[in-house]
Amino acid sequence: MKNILTEMHVKALFEQYYIALVEFSWHIVKCRDTASDIVQDTFVKVLERLEELPSQEKALKSYLYSSVRNISLNHIRHQKIADGYQKSNEWNEMDETYILDAMIYAETVNNLHKAIKTLPKSCQEVCKLTYLEGKSNSEAAELCGVSINTIKTQKRRSVELLRHRLAPIFHSLKAFVLFFFG
């Protein structure tokens, strides 16, 4: 018998792919709120049609990307018409490469976001400020209201935790560090 998805499964899917899909949609619609709307609506649809969905993970992922891509493309088509643009083929020609690029963004951003989220709260904050916002140690220390040494300790701890827990992703974070502070 075919496995039918439950709401719990959908939530797990949501947690796994939401950011990826929002990022993916953003590259097409170029508006964060619209992208969130589109992806949320896609999940509403998933919840409404649990029995019609593929139960295999790979097929589901493909289904989610396709749905989000179609709704996003429809959205900008409508917008173009509404804005009085001429229906051009410009998009259709570029979309293949562009879609692929958007997917690469989506996958990488999603994975890295998850890696950072697995860190303890205090480390996350320091990670965000230093690695993501490009703040210096002293700026981060001031913003967090702690000493520079605390920031350094937290950073070291983050890196160690990431190294143990997520050895592979650590390398990319190290790449960030090298890139910005190296």
Q: How far is the CB of 86 from another protein (least distance, A)?
A: 26
CB atoms within 10 A of CB 130: 23
- From 56-64, 73-81, 82-90, 137-145, give the range in contact with another protein by CB under 8 A: 56-64
Q: DSSP secondary structure string, 49-60? A: TGGGS--SHHHH
- From 76-84, 144-152, 154-162, 164-172, give the range in contact with another protein by CB under 8 A: 164-172
Written as six digits, the tokens of 55 are: 């139960």
Q: How would you class 129 by CB atoms within 10 Å of its CB: exposed for 0-12, middle for 13-18, buried for 19 or more?
A: buried
Written as six digits, the tokens of 176 are: 């960030």
* Candidate residues 33, 97, 145, 164; the one interacting with another protein per rule CB under 8 A: 97
Distance of CA 59 to the CA centre of its chain: 19
In the complex with another protein, the residue whose CB is nearer, 88 or 97, is 97
Q: DSSP secondary structure string, 110-141? A: HHHHHHHHTS-HHHHHHHIIIIIS---HHHHH
Q: How far is the CB of 96 from another protein (least distance, A)?
A: 8
Q: Is 165 in the site for another protein (CB under 8 A)?
A: no
Which residues, at least 6 apart from 28, have a Cβ–Cβ distance to it below 8 Å?
69, 72, 73, 75, 76, 98, 99, 102
Binding mask 128-147 for another protein (x = CB under 8 A): x--xxx--------------
Q: How would you class 158 by CB atoms within 10 Å of its CB: exposed for 0-12, middle for 13-18, buried for 19 or more?
A: buried
* Candidate residues 108, 138, 147, 149; the one interacting with another protein per rule CB under 8 A: 108
Q: Is 47 in the site for another protein (CB under 8 A)?
A: yes
In the complex with another protein, the residue whose CB is nearer, 66 or 79, is 66
**Which residue ranges make up the site for another protein (CB under 8 A)?**
11, 14-15, 18-19, 22-23, 26, 32, 36, 40-41, 43-44, 47-48, 54, 58-59, 61-63, 65-66, 69, 97, 99-101, 103-109, 111-113, 128, 131-133, 168-172, 175-176, 179
